[in-house]
Every structure is written in structure tokens, then in C-alpha cells.
Amino acid sequence: MQKIPQKIIHNKYLRHRKKFPHVWCPGCSNGIVLGAVIRAVAELEWKRSDITMVSGIGCSSRMPVYVDFNTLHTLHGRAIAFATGVKLFKPELKVIVVTGDGDATAIGGNHFIHAARRNIDLTVILLNNYIYGMTGGQYSPTTPIGDRTTTTPYGNIDPAFDICELALGAGAAFVARTTAYHATEAQTFIKKALVHKGFSLVEIICACPIIYGRMNKKGDAPAMMKSMKENILSIKAYEKLTEEQKEGKIKRGIFREVIKPEYTEEYDKLVKSLQASIGEVDNDRT
């Protein structure tokens, strides 16, 4: 095998020798997102031991296997619950949660909205590929109306979740959406989300050419990337369109970036104030 030079940043943060090539299908966008995460962390020059990456079950949740950080590969849908525990135990760690659309909004929906409500300092990277890819192509809460999957062979009739709207409604401090095609934008958004204090969500729309693309006749992997480029527009370009043109188009960009009281800091304050008051009582007794 060819030797990879040390100056390549991927080499520094990935488990190159043990785990590669990865399990994802040819043309899957998850690898592009993994590259964007690695480059964002490399730009910030964080130590590998300062970062914890938590994930649940699913295609995208295989991501912590390949990175050389502290990693946790947990139960289906419970990634954010485990990450909350990690963050409360060691608030100085930088916790990144990588989940899929089914993982975060279907089985782990409650954990997702309540972490957003509490505003705990997590960075959630949500890879939305519109389908449960790993288990064979069942429909997920984000599958668009009319699309075919293994469990909806005559077309899906459930209206889909808008994950960014859900997070905005739940009160997340940083909400952004981008696609795997816009890899540099994904990198900058992930970097902003990592630096932001509070619950930050980056939804990245991914292509699944092997299962979702083949069932819905979306073409091969480059064709799906091209359709993402055409249909997912920046906020400025989206607002210029008329109502008829907006049909089938999705907007991307940063929807909210505010500073709010953060949960672990508030918890620390509460503990310290209580300890101080108890200390006074103890002093009185002695």
C-alpha cells in the first residue's frame, strides 16, 4: 500500500491503519461530511484528547469509528442523552454528536428537542439522507411525500419534518443547514457551531445513491449531487423566488445564532451557591 505523508491533515485525525477503507457505499456523502469535520477541527487546532464524539446507530453514526478522538458508539437514538452525561461530568470536553435523521428525530426525538430546550453545550451534526439506509431502506420522518421506500412501496403519505424549524421551535442557540455538495460551507458552519457556546445544530443534507436514489430513480451519485446543487438554495436566492418557484426547493444557511444561558454553567452556579449556603450552616453548627 502507498504511504500517506504526515502533512496530510486527514492522516493526523483518522484511524488510517486500522479501519480504512470505510463501510459506506460508493457515492455516499458521509465521507465528505467526515472530511469537513476533520478539516474544521484541524483549523481550530484542538487536541485530539479534548474532543469527544458520540453517536447512535445508523450509517452516519459509524463516523466515530474512523476518527482518533475520544469516541462513544451508543444505543439507537440515545446519542444526545449520553452526550449530555459526558458534558455534565466533564464540562471542559468539547462534545460532538453525530446522528442520522432517523436516529435524532424518530427514536431520539425527545432527547433532541429537550437538549435544544436546555441549551446544553453540544454540537449536533445531523446527516439527513431521507431514509434508514443501514437497516434496508425503511421510511424515516424526513422522507418527502410520494417517495418510495421498502416500507412505503406505493409512495409515502406522511408529511416530513423540517428539522431546522423543529430545532428553532425548541429553542436551539445555533441552527444551520447545508448540503454535502457545499463542502466548504459545511466546513465553515461546523467550525462556527463548534466554537458557539450552547446547543448548536448543523443539518447536512446527504445523498444516499444506493438505497434512496435507486428506489426513487434519482440517478447515480454525481447526478444526486447535481440535484442537491439545484434544489437547495441559499437564503438570499430562495427569498427572491416566487411562490410557484419555491415548490420543491429548500433553503440553506444559518437560521439563528444567539447567545443564551448555558446549562452546565447554570448548573455549576447553582451547585456553588448551594454549597456556599450549606457551608454557612455548617460553620454555625461548629
Partner 1 sequence: MRYWEVPFGKEKPKTPIGEIHILKERCKGCGFCVEYCPKDVLEMSDEFNSKGYHPPKIVNEENCVNCGLCEMICPEFSIWCTLKEEVALEN
Comparison of 171 and 219: residue with beta carbon closer to partner 1: 219
Terminal-to-terminal C-alpha distance of the chain: 72
How many other C-beta atoms are found inside a 10 Å radius of the C-beta of residue 142? 23
Comparison of 183 and 254: residue with beta carbon closer to partner 1: 183
CB-based contacts of 231: which residues, under 8 Å, 6+ apart? 248, 249, 250
Q: How far is the CB of 125 from partner 1 (least distance, A)?
A: 16
- Grid cell, residue 68, equals 482518533
Q: How far is the CB of 38 from partner 1 (least distance, A)?
A: 9
Comparison of 40 and 160: residue with beta carbon closer to partner 1: 40
Q: How far is the CB of 46 from partner 1 (least distance, A)?
A: 20
Q: How far is the CB of 17 from partner 1 (least distance, A)?
A: 12
Which residues would be at the binding site for partner 1 (CB under 8 A)?
1-2, 4-5, 8, 10, 14, 20-22, 24-32, 34-36, 39, 183-184, 220-222, 225
Comparison of 21 and 248: residue with beta carbon closer to partner 1: 21
Contact between 205 and 180 under an 8 Å Cβ cutoff? The reply is yes
Comparison of 30 and 264: residue with beta carbon closer to partner 1: 30
Q: How far is the CB of 252 from partner 1 (least distance, A)?
A: 17
Q: If we measure between CA atoms, which residue out of 128, 114, 121, 59 comes closest to residue 88?
A: 121
Comparison of 220 and 257: residue with beta carbon closer to partner 1: 220
Q: How far is the CB of 180 from partner 1 (least distance, A)?
A: 9
Distance CA 267, CA 240 (A): 44
Q: How far is the CB of 232 from partner 1 (least distance, A)?
A: 16
Comparison of 220 and 265: residue with beta carbon closer to partner 1: 220
Comparison of 20 and 266: residue with beta carbon closer to partner 1: 20
Q: How far is the CB of 227 from partner 1 (least distance, A)?
A: 13
